[in-house]
C-alpha cells in the first residue's frame, strides 16, 4: 500500500487528517465519560470516531491499527448498546486504549513500528467477556405499522438508536422478532451514487465482498440508464440486487457499505419467499419480511437532510434529534488565503476610492455602504480561518496523563473557554508553547502529594487552562495551584548562570521573568520532562514571534499563572503609520508607548552617534530612523521638527525612535517579504496603503537591537 501513487498519498493524507479529528473527538468524549457524562450522544460520538478510524485503516492496509481499533470498537459497541456499563474502571481502560490508538495512528502515519498493544487488547477482550455476557437481546424496538414499499417488502420494526457511520446518517437497527425457523435470505439492493463513485468507491469490490459471504447477484436494474448520448461517464446508473444467505448477520452485510457515500441506495431486507430468487429450499414461507432502509438522507443537491422519501420514517422526532450537528466542507487553506488576499485588495481599492472622491461624491455613489459591506466580507473571510482553540487544548489531557505517570503527581485539569476562536495560523503555533507551559507547571509548579498535604492543600494539584478573547487579542492562561516561583533560588541560579549581576536589584516580577531568560533552567536535576534547558525561553520567543507576549504572575505557596496574549490573526496588524523622508512606515501599535514632540535641548548626545531623550527626569536611549534607513542628509530633519515615538522592546526596553511625522493609526494587512524576496532584518513585512503604495512594517525588536544600517543584513547573508 506504500506505492508512490500521488493520488493515494493524497487520500492517505486526508485519512490521517480525519484520524486526527476522530482522535480529538474520541478523547473529548472519553474525558467527558470519565467525568460522568455517559449520555448516548457522548458514547456514540466516541464509537463513531473509532469506527471510522477502523474503516479507513482497513482501506489503507494499516492492519495493526485496524486490528486494534476493531477490538476497541467491539467494547465501545457494547457500551453503546448498554451491555457494558461505562463505570470508572471501564472508562479508565478505554482512556488507556485511546492512548494506544493514538500511538497506532502516529505509527501508521510515520510508517513507524506499531506500539505494543497485546496487553491492552487482552484487557479490552476481558472487558468484553466479563460484562458483555449481559442479555443478548436486541435493542427494544417500537413496532410501527408495517407498510409495504415499492419493492414489495414490508418493513417491520425499526428503531433509531445511535449514529453509526462516519457520514452522519442514521443507522437503523432492526429487531427480528417473531421468527420461526431459519432466517430468510437477505435481499440487498445497492445503487452507488455519483458521490460514491467520485470518492473512489468501487462497486465491484462491494459486490465481491457480498459474494464472499455467499451472496449472488440476481439482477441488475438498468432502467435508470439514459441513452448513450446523455450518459455521464462519471455517474452511476446501475442498481444491483444481491441475494445473501439468511444466516449471515445483518451487521456484516451493513459493514460492507460502511464507507459508501450516504446518498447511495442501500437496502437490506429479508426476502419474502415469493421474491427469494435463489434461496435455500428449506426457507419457510411464513416469515415476516423485514425491511431496513438506509436511504437518501442527504440527496446530493440538497445540503440539508431531507425527509426520507417514500420509505417509512418511524420516529421523526428521534431522527431530528440525531441530526448531524453541522454540515461542513473541507477547503484547501490556500484557497482561503487567496480569498483573504483578494478581500484585502478590495479593502485597499475601497480606500483608494475614498481618497479620490470628495465626501459629497462618496455619498452619491454610496461608498460608505460599499465600505461597510467590504468590511463585513473581510470579517467573514477572517472568521473562516478561525478555529476553536479546543484543537490545541485537546492534546493536554493525554499529556497530563503521561506526566502524571512519569512524576507520580496527581493533577486535575480544569479547562474553560475552549470555544474561543483563533486564526488557524496562530493555532498551529501555540501547540508547542502550550506543551512547555503545561510540562513546566506539572514539573516545577505542582508539589508532590505529600508536600501538598503537608502544606494543607488537597493532595491533587489543579491546572487551570483557559482561553478568552480580549479585544484583538486572545488570552491563554495556564495556572497551577502549586508552590509558586521560588524567587531566592531563581535569583541564585540567574547569578550562577551569569544572566544577572550578583548585586542586581530586581523586583519580584523581574525575578519571575528570569525563568524565561535563554538558558535558564531551575530543576536541580534535569528531568526528562521540562528540564531540557530550552523551556520557557522557547515559549517566550515563540509567542513573541507571533506578535504576542508572555506574562508570569506568581504567589509563593499559592501557585503560578502563565499568560500568553496572542494576536487574533497573523494577517492583520494594528499599526501607527509614520513618515520619514517621503516614505511611510508602519509601527506595530503593541510596541508604541507614547509619542513626544521634542523641545530644543531635550535630545542630548552622549557620544558620537549615540543620543538620549530626556523624558520626565529620565533619559531614554534615542535612535534616529533616518540613520537606520540611510536617509540622505539633505532629507533629514532636526529633532525639533521631528516626532519621537517611545517604543517598548524586549531587547532594549524603552527606546525613543525619531521619525518625521505621524500620519495616522490603522489596521494593515501584512504582506510577507519572503513571498518574493527574503526576510530582511528589522522589517516584519510590508503592507499596501490606501493609495496603492507600499509601506514597510517595522520589527521594533530587531530594529532597536541592531545599532544602525550596517547591522541590517538579510538573514543568512550575515555570514
At its nearest, how many Å lie between another protein and the CB of residue 411?
A: 47
| Set of cell numbers at residue 125 | 477482550
Cβ closest to another protein, residue 485 vs residue 703: 703
Residue with cell 474520541: 26
Q: Which segment (39-47, 525-533, 643-651, 669-677) binds another protein by CB under 8 A?
A: 669-677
The packing angle between helices 536-545 and 424-440, to 10°, is 160
- Read out DSSP for 403-422? HHHHH---EEEEEE-TT-EE
Please list, in sequence order, all residues whose beta carbon lies within 8 angstroms of the beta carbon of residue 181, skipping any fewer than 6 positions away: 282, 284, 287
Q: Extract the C-alpha cell encoding 439.
A: 510540562
CB of 637 or CB of 671, closer to another protein: 671
Choose between 351 and 553: whose C-beta lies nearer to another protein: 351
**C-alpha 11, offset from chain centre:** 19
Q: Which stretch binds another protein (CB under 8 A): 3-11, 17-25, 264-272, 705-713?
A: 705-713
Q: Nearest distance from residue 675's CB to another protein, in Å?
A: 7
Length, in residues, of the chain = 719
Contact between 72 and another protein by CB under 8 A: the answer reads no
301 binds another protein (CB under 8 A): no
Contact pattern from residue 323 through residue 342 relative to another protein, giving x for each residue in contact according to CB under 8 A and a dash for the rest: ------------------xx
What's the grid cell of residue 522? 531551575
- Separation CA 254–CA 383 (nearest Å): 39
127, 172, 688, 700: which one binds another protein (CB under 8 A): 688
CB of 630 to another protein, least distance (A): 7
Q: Is 356 in the site for another protein (CB under 8 A)?
A: no
State the minimum distance, in angstroms, from the CB of residue 347 to another protein. Answer: 10
Q: To which H or E segment does residue 442 belong?
A: none
* Residue 330, all three cell numbers: 473541507
| 693: contact with another protein by CB under 8 A | yes
Per CB under 8 A, 680 contacts another protein: yes
Query: Interface with another protein includes 644 (CB under 8 A)?
Result: no
With binding defined as CB under 8 A, does residue 668 bind another protein? Answer: no
410 binds another protein (CB under 8 A): no
**Residue 622 or 697 with smaller CB distance to another protein:** 697
DSSP class of residue 307 equals: P
User: What is the C-alpha separation between 323 and 442, in angstroms, rounded?
Assistant: 41
Q: Which stretch binds another protein (CB under 8 A): 169-177, 219-227, 592-600, 707-715?
A: 707-715
Residue 344, C-alpha cell as written in the block: 484585502
Which residue of 3, 281, 471, 716 would you call a contact of another protein, by CB under 8 A? 716
User: By CB under 8 A, is residue 671 in contact with another protein?
Assistant: yes
Report helix, strand or coil for 316.
Answer: helix
To another protein, the closest distance from the beta carbon of 634 in angstroms equals 16
User: Running DSSP on this structure, what letter comes out for residue 478?
Assistant: E
- Tracing cell 487482552 back to the chain, one arrives at 122
Q: Is 97 in the site for another protein (CB under 8 A)?
A: no
Nearer to another protein among residue 619 and residue 678 (C-beta): 678
- Residue 301 vs 719, nearer CB to another protein: 719
Contacts of 229 (CB under 8 A, 6+ apart): none
Among 445, 366, 423, 691, residue whose Cα is nearest residue 548: 423
> Shortest distance, CB of residue 216 to another protein, whole angstroms?
53
Residue among 655, 663, 671 nearest 707 (CA): 655
Q: Which is nearer to another protein, 268 or 689 (CB)?
A: 689
Please state whether 233 falls in left (phi above 0), alpha (psi between -120 and 50) or beta. alpha
Q: For residue 702, state whether it binds another protein (rule: CB under 8 A).
A: no
| 678 lies in the binding site for another protein (CB under 8 A) | yes
In 3D space, the residue among 270, 276, 275, 269 whose CA is nearest the CA of residue 293 turns out to be 269
Asked if 709 is part of the footprint of another protein (rule: CB under 8 A), the reply reads: yes
* Stretch in the footprint of another protein (CB under 8 A) among 79-87, 150-158, 180-188, 670-678: 670-678
Which parts of 546-585 interact with another protein (CB under 8 A)?
Answer: 583
Site size for another protein (CB under 8 A): 35
User: Of 337 and 648, which CB lies nearer to another protein in the complex structure?
Assistant: 337
Binding part of the chain for another protein, among 32-40, 77-85, 152-160, 343-351 by CB under 8 A, reads 343-351
> Which is closer to another protein, CB of 98 or CB of 585?
585
Of 308, 336, 371, 683, the one binding another protein (CB under 8 A) is: 683
Q: Which three cell numbers stand for residue 206?
A: 462491494
- Residue from 50, 686, 700, 704 touching another protein (CB under 8 A): that is 686
Whose Cβ is closer to another protein: residue 272's or residue 696's?
A: 696
CA distance 299 to 413: 43
Our finding on whether 675 is near another protein (CB under 8 A) is yes
Question: For the chain, how big is the Rg over CA atoms in Å?
Answer: 33
- Which cell is 16 given? 490521517
Tell me: does residue 345 bind another protein (CB under 8 A): yes
Within the chain, what is the greatest distance between any pair of CA atoms?
112
The neighbour count for residue 327, using CB atoms within 10 Å, is: 10
Task: Return the residue of 508, 599, 694, 707 that touches another protein, per CB under 8 A.
Answer: 694
Name which of 307 and 714 has its Cβ closer to another protein: 714
714: helix, strand or coil: strand
Give yes or no for a contact between 306 and 297, defined as CB atoms under 8 angstroms apart: yes
Of the two residues 293 and 586, which places its CB atom closer to another protein in the complex?
586
- Is the CB of 106 or the CB of 683 nearer to another protein? 683
- Choices 114-122, 282-290, 491-499, 671-679; region in contact with another protein by CB under 8 A: 671-679
Piece of 175-183, 290-298, 360-368, 686-694 that binds another protein (CB under 8 A)? 686-694
Angle 141-144-145 from CA coordinates, rounded to 5°: 150
- Helix, strand and coil percent figures for the chain, each rounded to 5: 40, 20, 40
State the angle between helix axes of 333-356 and 367-385 in degrees (0 to 180), rounded to the nearest 10: 160
Sheet holding 694-698, edge to edge: 661-669, 572-580, 583-588, 694-698, 683-688
Cell of 241: 440486487
Using CB under 8 A, list all residues that contact another protein. Answer: 341-342, 344-345, 348, 583, 628-630, 671-673, 675-678, 680-683, 685-686, 688, 692-696, 709, 712-714, 716-717, 719
Amino acid at each position: 500500500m506504500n506505492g508512490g501513487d500521488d493520488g493515494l498519498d493524497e487520500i492517505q493524507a486526508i485519512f490521517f487528517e480525519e484520524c486526527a479529528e476522530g482522535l480529538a473527538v474520541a478523547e473529548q468524549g472519553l474525558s467527558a465519560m470519565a467525568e460522568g457524562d455517559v449520555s448516548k450522544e457522548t458514547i456514540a460520538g466516541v464509537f463513531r470516531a473509532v469506527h471510522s478510524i477502523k474503516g479507513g485503516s482497513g482501506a489503507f492496509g494499516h492492519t495493526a491499527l485496524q486490528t486494534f481499533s476493531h477490538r476497541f470498537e467491539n467494547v465501545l459497541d457494547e457500551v453503546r448498546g448498554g451491555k457494558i456499563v461505562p463505570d470508572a474502571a471501564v472508562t479508565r481502560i478505554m482512556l488507556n486504549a485511546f492512548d494506544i490508538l493514538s500511538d497506532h495512528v502516529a505509527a501508521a502515519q510515520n510508517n513507524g513500528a506499531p506500539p505494543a498493544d497485546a496487553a491492552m487488547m487482552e484487557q479490552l477482550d476481558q472487558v468484553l467477556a466479563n460484562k458483555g455476557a449481559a442479555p443478548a437481546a436486541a435493542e427494544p424496538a417500537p413496532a410501527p405499522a408495517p407498510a409495504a414499499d415499492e419493492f414489495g417488502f414490508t418493513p417491520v420494526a425499526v428503531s433509531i438508536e445511535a449514529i453509526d457511520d462516519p457520514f452522519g446518517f442514521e443507522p437503523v437497527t432492526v429487531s427480528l422478532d417473531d421468527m420461526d425457523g431459519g432466517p430468510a435470505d437477505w435481499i440487498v439492493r445497492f445503487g452507488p451514487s455519483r458521490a460514491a463513485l467520485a470518492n473512489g468507491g468501487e462497486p465491484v469490490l462491494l459486490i465481491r465482498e457480498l459474494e464472499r459471504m455467499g451472496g449472488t447477484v440476481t439482477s441488475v436494474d438498468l432502467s435508470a440508464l439514459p441513452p448513450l448520448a446523455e450518459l455521464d461517464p462519471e455517474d452511476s446508473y446501475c442498481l444491483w440486487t444481491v441475494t445473501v444467505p439468511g444466516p449471515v448477520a445483518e451487521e456484516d452485510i451493513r459493514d460492507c457499505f460502511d464507507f459508501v457515500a450516504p446518498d447511495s441506495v442501500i437496502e437490506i431486507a429479508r426476502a419474502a419467499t415469493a421474491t427469494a430468487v435463489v434461496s435455500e429450499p428449506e426457507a419457510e414461507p411464513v416469515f415476516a419480511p423485514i425491511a431496513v432502509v438506509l436511504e437518501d438522507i442527504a440527496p446530493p443537491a440538497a445540503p440539508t437532510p431531507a425527509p426520507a422519501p417514500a420509505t417509512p420514517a418511524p420516529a421523526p422526532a428521534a431522527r431530528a434529534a440525531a441530526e448531524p450537528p453541522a454540515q461542513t466542507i473541507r477547503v484547501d487553506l490556500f484557497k482561503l488565503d487567496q480569498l483573504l488576499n483578494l478581500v484585502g485588495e478590495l479593502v485597499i481599492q475601497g480606500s483608494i476610492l475614498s481618497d479620490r472622491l470628495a465626501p459629497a461624491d462618496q455619498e452619491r455613489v454610496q461608498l460608505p455602504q460599499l465600505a461597510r459591506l467590504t468590511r463585513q466580507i473581510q470579517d467573514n473571510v477572517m472568521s473562516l480561518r478561525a478555529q476553536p482553540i479546543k484543537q490545541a487544548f485537546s492534546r493536554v489531557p493525554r499529556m497530563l496523563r503521561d506526566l502524571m505517570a512519569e512524576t507520580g503527581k496527581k493533577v486535575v485539569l480544569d479547562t474553560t473557554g475552549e470555544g474561543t476562536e483563533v486564526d488557524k495560523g496562530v493555532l498551529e503555533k501555540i501547540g508547542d508553547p502550550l506543551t512547555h507551559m503545561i510540562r513546566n507547571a506539572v514539573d516545577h509548579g505542582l508539589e508532590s502529594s505529600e508536600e501538598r498535604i503537608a502544606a494543607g492543600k488537597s493532595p491533587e494539584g489543579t491546572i487551570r487552562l483557559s482561553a478568552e478573547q480580549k479585544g484583538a487579542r486572545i488570552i491563554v492562561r495556564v495556572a497551577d495551584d502549586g508552590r509558586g516561583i521560588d524567587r531566592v533560588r531563581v535569583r541564585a541560579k540567574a547569578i550562577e548562570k551569569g544572566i544577572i549581576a550578583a548585586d542586581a536589584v530586581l523586583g519580584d516580577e523581574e525575578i519571575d521573568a528570569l525563568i524565561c531568560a535563554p538558558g535558564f533552567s531551575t530543576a536541580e536535576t534535569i528531568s526528562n520532562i521540562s528540564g531540557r534547558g530550552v523551556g520557557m525561553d522557547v515559549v517566550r520567543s515563540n509567542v513573541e514571534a507571533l506578535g504576542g507576549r508572555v506574562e508570569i504572575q506568581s504567589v509563593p505557596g499559592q501557585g503560578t499563572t502563565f499568560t500568553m496574549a496572542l494576536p487574533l490573526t497573523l494577517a492583520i496588524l494594528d499599526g501607527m503609520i509614520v513618515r520619514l523622508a517621503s516614505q511611510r512606515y508602519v509601527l506595530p501599535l503593541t510596541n508604541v508607548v507614547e509619542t513626544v514632540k521634542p523641545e530644543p535641548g531635550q535630545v542630548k548626545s552622549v557620544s558620537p552617534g549615540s543620543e538620549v531623550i530626556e523624558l520626565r527626569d529620565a533619559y531614554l536611549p534615542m535612535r534616529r530612523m533616518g540613520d537606520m534607513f540611510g536617509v540622505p542628509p539633505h532629507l533629514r530633519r532636526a529633532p525639533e521638527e521631528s516626532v519621537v515615538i517611545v517604543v517598548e522592546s524586549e531587547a532594549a526596553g524603552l527606546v525613543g525612535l525619531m521619525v518625521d511625522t505621524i500620519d495616522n493609526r490603522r489596521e494593515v494587512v501584512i504582506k510577507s517579504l519572503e513571498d518574493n524576496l527574503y526576510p530582511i532584518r528589522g522589517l516584519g513585512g510590508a503592507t499596501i496603503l490606501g493609495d496603492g503604495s507600499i509601506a514597510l512594517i517595522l520589527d521594533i525588536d530587531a530594529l532597536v537591537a541592531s545599532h544602525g544600517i550596517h547591522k541590517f543584513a538579510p538573514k543568512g547573508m550575515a555570514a
